[in-house]
């Protein structure tokens, strides 16, 4: 594996092996401390709390050094180019790059310029592969399996890297995906060919997982809906909708959440919510991914 750019094309056996490896780090990070060494550089040109900090914590647990590049506080503000930034960070001794960027090919460019393994932490309108692995691990822990689970992904699929990652990998693991939302949220040309629905209420009783996506106001999600109140009324997860689920069904969201829009606070913090388990699993998943990437360093 040369870093992790995409989950598309990964076999079921490869994905399961990666999840097993991640599971081996759950609650046992101390025994892996000091194992990998090297330097991990996180390069974030867009905001992040969970992804960035969990990669950095994972690197620390592996005994790696962390360099943390924060675009707004860097020489990017003095017009330093993306290429020169990557060349500079490579010269400082980066072994593995973790990158989030608005450019779709930012991860490939970083790999080409640096010659180092690169982990995609969310680029352009592509995948967010470590979020997908985190969510798959969380589901496997809860249900004991992924095969046959029915998951409704609700919201702005067209703008979502998380949804793209899930579409790339979860069906391979046996998950049945349904996309739910208003029609403008689905891409005009659908490359996925999975089931779609505009009526959340009619789906609730059949689903094992309601996976809510954030309304990405900064990427124009709001243009696809008549009003935030109208969206919350039709697609927001609230207590009434919670009562329409099977007793075993759970709620997930990659975060950050818009309380009162795609999810009510009482649902997010309720006993059906796996949101904070997803966050916690971000660390062992990123330990697994970084451990493999650091293993490739020259």
Nearer to ligand CP, 42 or 291 (CB): 42
Nearer to ligand CP, 48 or 90 (CB): 48
Q: Tell me the C-alpha distance between 263 and 285, whole Å.
A: 25
- Contact between 124 and ligand CP by CB under 6 A: the answer reads no
* CB of 122 vs ligand CP, minimal distance in Å: 6
Tokens linked to 173: 């693991």
* CB of 131 vs ligand CP, minimal distance in Å: 5
* CB of 101 vs ligand CP, minimal distance in Å: 13
Nearer to ligand CP, 51 or 249 (CB): 51
Total number of residues binding ligand CP (CB under 6 A)?
Answer: 9
- Contact between 50 and ligand CP by CB under 6 A: the answer reads yes
Q: Tell me the C-alpha distance between 131 and 273, whole Å.
A: 16
Assess contact for 95 and 133: CB atoms under 8 A: no
Peptide bond into 197 cis (omega under 30): no
Nearer to ligand CP, 204 or 289 (CB): 289
- Contact between 256 and ligand CP by CB under 6 A: the answer reads yes
The CA–CA distances, whole Å, from 51 to 54, 56, 75, 187 equal 5, 9, 23, 26
Nearer to ligand CP, 5 or 204 (CB): 5
- Contact between 254 and ligand CP by CB under 6 A: the answer reads yes
- Contact between 48 and ligand CP by CB under 6 A: the answer reads yes
Q: Tell me the C-alpha distance between 15 and 200, whole Å.
A: 30
Q: Which of 171, 184, 255, 270 binds ligand CP (CB under 6 A)?
A: 255
For 79-88, letters b (16+ CB in 10 Å) and e give eeebeebbee
* CB of 35 vs ligand CP, minimal distance in Å: 25
Instruction: Considering only the stretches 55-63, 151-159, 189-197, 254-262, report the one whose residues sit in contact with ligand CP under the rule CB under 6 A.
Output: 254-262
Nearer to ligand CP, 3 or 254 (CB): 254
Tokens linked to 95: 């072994």
Q: Which of 49, 75, 81, 202 binds ligand CP (CB under 6 A)?
A: 49
Q: Tell me the C-alpha distance between 72 and 113, whole Å.
A: 22
Determine phi and psi for 55, rounding to 5 degrees. Answer: -65, -40
Nearer to ligand CP, 113 or 211 (CB): 211
Which residues are 218's β-sheet partners? none
Assess contact for 275 and 253: CB atoms under 8 A: yes
Q: Tell me the C-alpha distance between 30 and 63, whole Å.
A: 10
Q: Tell me the C-alpha distance between 113 and 297, whole Å.
A: 15
Bridge pairing between strands 195-197 and 209-212? unpaired
Assess contact for 208 and 180: CB atoms under 8 A: no
Instruction: Considering only the stretches 1-9, 49-57, 152-160, 191-199, report the one whose residues sit in contact with ligand CP under the rule CB under 6 A.
Output: 49-57
Site string for ligand CP, 125-144 (x = CB under 6 A): ---x--x-------------
- Contact between 219 and ligand CP by CB under 6 A: the answer reads no
Binding site for ligand CP (CB under 6 A): 48-51, 128, 131, 254-256
């Amino acid at each position: 594996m040369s870093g992790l750019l995409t989950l598309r094309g990964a076999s079921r056996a490869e994905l399961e092996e990666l999840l097993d490896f991640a599971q081996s780090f759950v609650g046992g990070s101390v025994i892996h401390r000091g194992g990998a060494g090297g330097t991990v550089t996180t390069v974030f040109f867009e905001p992040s709390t969970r992804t960035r900090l969990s990669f950095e914590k994972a690197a620390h647990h592996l005994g790696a050094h962390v360099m943390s590049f924060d675009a707004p506080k860097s020489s990017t503000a003095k017009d330093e180019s993306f290429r020169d930034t990557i060349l500079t960070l490579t010269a400082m001794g980066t072994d593995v790059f973790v990158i989030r960027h608005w450019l779709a090919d930012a991860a490939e460019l970083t790999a080409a310029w640096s010659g180092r393994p690169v982990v995609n932490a969310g680029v352009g309108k592509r995948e967010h592969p470590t979020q997908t692995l985190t969510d798959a691990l969380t589901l496997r822990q809860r249900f004991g399996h992924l095969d046959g689970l029915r998951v409704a992904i609700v919201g702005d699929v067209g703008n979502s890297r998380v949804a793209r990652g899930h579409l790339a990998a979860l069906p391979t693991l046996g998950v049945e995906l349904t996309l739910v939302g208003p029609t403008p949220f689905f891409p005009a040309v659908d490359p996925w060919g999975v089931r779609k629905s505009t009526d959340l209420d009619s789906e609730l009783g059949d689903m094992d997982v309601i996976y809510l996506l954030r309304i990405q106001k900064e990427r124009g999600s709001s243009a696809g809906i008549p009003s935030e109140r109208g969206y919350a009324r039709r697609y927001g997860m609230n207590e009434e909708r919670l009562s329409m689920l099977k007793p075993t069904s759970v709620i997930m969201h990659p975060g950050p959440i818009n309380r009162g829009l795609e999810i009510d606070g009482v649902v997010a913090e309720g006993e059906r919510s796996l949101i904070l388990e997803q966050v916690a699993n971000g660390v062992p998943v990123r330990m697994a991914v970084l451990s493999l990437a650091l293993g490739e360093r020259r």
